Chain A
Amino acid sequence: MRKFVDLHLRPSINDLGQVEKMVKRSSDLGYRLVGVPLPHNIKGERVHQLKTICERVEVDLVTRIDLVPKTSGELLRNLQRFRRRFEIISVTCNSKSVARQAAKDRRVDLMAFSMGFPCKRFFDNAEAELASRAEGALEIDMASLLFLNSFPRIRLLSSLRREVSIAEKFEVPIVITSGATEVNLLRRPHDCAALATLFDLSMSVALRGLSENPSGIVERNRKKLSSGYVAPGLFVVRDVKPCLGV
């Protein structure tokens, strides 16, 4: 059976009641893994509280940080600071240089683009080629499709259709997330996949974007963040005491 993942749940972290409500609804809707963006200076105690809330409804919490750098230099500095502290790093690319850097940097997991401004969507063939080599994924939030209306939604759908076809051409994984800030913006995985057909994504690809693609990224990063990780393909299996005899 598929394990559905929503990597972008956006409750207010200070309001634990709202977090609990949203995580519970996600669990009821069929998600088993949720990603919540956290502030960079979050305390370990608060993360523990969030994990307890998630455990109560049998959902696995993924820690995530959303970076919105203005320049590629700022992005590099942030990646250096936060890569080992969060399981998922998403970069909102508001300029061409940031998009280029995010696409080629292996430390970036998800590339997101502005939903309200089509002129700020920089995902083209060059970005896709770089992202494909660096194992980055394209993130698409469904919440914008729900709250936008008429002309802005038409423009967004048109941009998404173009980006999805580029991503498929260069085999860049697509990750579909809710981006929900309130309970009413959450949808069942199959309903999200049906919404994704509006920008010509097939149901099977959309369902992969809600299950295998995001869970693969989380699994990969958890391995990398574990204490036994040395380098790609190299793990410490067990510690052995040096043999002093002979």
Chain B
Amino acid sequence: MRKRYLALKVESETPLSERDLIGAIWNSLIQLFGEYGTSKTNLYLIEFNPEDGYGILCCSRETVNMVRAAVAAITRVDEKPAAIYVIRVSGTLRALRKMLKVESRR
């Protein structure tokens, strides 16, 4: 199964933990697509830096738009207002990490 890697940027008033972030994404996916749809995504969080808010998600290629929609639908994490943006989608982790390095330096 082919994978896609999504670079995320989290904007929130207070720093979020890795657990809060992945919990919010799972909840949003289950709300929008149900357990059956969510099971097709093979989603996992590869890394997340709470300090700068950048992270990387991995999912199956066929479900990229589902994951993107679920991420975009999040407006609150742990009852606090937050917005999560997908900065870039890539087929390789290396390309994405390179891009994130440049982005976080800005």
Contacts and interface: CB of A to CB of B under 8 A. Distances in A.
Interface of A: 29, 145-147, 149-150, 183-188, 190-192, 194-195, 197-198, 203
A194 B83 contact: no
Contacts of A203: 65
B68 A184 contact: no
A186 to B, nearest CB: 7
B49 interface: no
Given A188-B87, A191-B68, A194-B72, 9 more contacts: A145-B73, A146-B73, A146-B75, A150-B31, A184-B82, A187-B72, A191-B71, A194-B65, A195-B69
Contacts of B66: 194, 197
A187 B85 contact: yes
Interface in B1-28: 11
A188 B75 contact: no
Contacts of B11: 183-184
B83 A195 contact: no
18 contacts: A29-B85, A145-B73, A147-B75, A149-B31, A150-B31, A184-B83, A188-B72, A188-B86, A191-B69, A191-B72, A191-B86, A192-B72, A194-B65, A194-B72, A194-B86, A195-B69, A195-B72, A198-B69
B83 A197 contact: no
B68 A190 contact: yes
A188 B65 contact: no
Given A183-B83, A188-B86, A194 B68 contact: yes
B27 to A, nearest CB: 11
Contact-residue bracket for chain B: 10 to 19
B85 A188 contact: yes
A179 to B, nearest CB: 13
A197 B69 contact: yes
Contacts, number: 49
B18 to A, nearest CB: 21
Nearest to B74: A146
Nearest to B82: A184
Interface string B33-68: 000000000000000000000000000000001101
B26 to A, nearest CB: 16
B81 A194 contact: no
B100 interface: no
Nearest to B75: A146
B32 interface: yes
